[in-house]
Amino acid sequence: MYQIAIDGPSGAGKSSLAKAAAARLGIVYVDTGALYRTVGYYVTTKGIDPKNAEAVSAVLPEIHVELKFENGTQYVYLNGENLGDKIRRPEISMAASAVSAIPAVRAFLLETQKSIARTHSVIMDGRDIGTVILPEADVKIFLFASDEARAKRRTKELAEKGIAADYNDVLREMRERDAQDRNRDVAPAIPAEDAVMFDNSELTVEESIERLLEIVRERVPSAR
């Protein structure tokens, strides 16, 4: 078994890359952002301010989050309901970022993430995978790209999901969210000391996948 951690700012292409690499390597892809999005979604539907640490912490016992994997795809269940793309909306991105700065929320989601990596070879993407969740990961990557490249990709990704979004709004919200994720006190979104820094602004998706697989195979001889 081996573990690959991919961290980096939003829209850097972590999920597409990790998903494709997982399929090639025959291992499980875990999207940890979906867990924070689920908590963000729940508090939003309850009319709770996602920045209100006390109010958010108080409803955590009402939340049961479960990750299920079918044919290599991850599905997130909130109290038995599959949320699908409802957690992808821009307002849920902001709510996810806000709740993710609350230590009680991070503690609440810790075991769900760690336990998957105990029983499966994984490629896990997030913000603190290499630093907090899997500090012993065999491979750590910090994936990033220019703000403009990331905003362009994110706008396209949303459009493909049928969510209309304006490029300039996406760029502004993305910068705001990244600053919030990077500057929080608990598990800030920064590279692990031993992470490989990977700038994919100028690479196609296929080139990025090839480069990622090279990095993995250099470090994990058993990876296919």
How far apart, in whole angstroms, are the C-alpha atoms of residue 161 and residue 179? Answer: 25
Report the interface residues with ligand DC, using CB under 6 A: 10, 32-33, 36-37, 93, 96-97, 100, 126-129, 177, 181
Q: Which residue has the tokens 């296919």?
A: 224
Q: Which residue has the tokens 């994997």?
A: 69
Under DSSP, is residue 51 helix (H, G, I), strand (E, B) or coil? coil
CB-nearer residue toward ligand DC: 13 or 121: 13
CB of 222 to ligand DC, least distance (A): 26
CB-nearer residue toward ligand DC: 25 or 189: 189
CB of 218 to ligand DC, least distance (A): 25
Closest C-alpha to 6, from 102, 92, 133: 133
CB of 223 to ligand DC, least distance (A): 22
How far apart, in whole angstroms, are the C-alpha atoms of residue 10 and residue 154? Answer: 8
CB-nearer residue toward ligand DC: 159 or 218: 159
| Residues paired with residue 76 on neighbouring β-strands, in sequence order | 67
In angstroms and rounded to an integer, the radius of gyration of the C-alpha atoms of the chain is 17
Q: Are 201 and 152 in contact (CB under 8 A)?
A: no
CB-nearer residue toward ligand DC: 126 or 191: 126
Q: Which residue has the tokens 């793309």?
A: 85
CB-nearer residue toward ligand DC: 26 or 73: 73
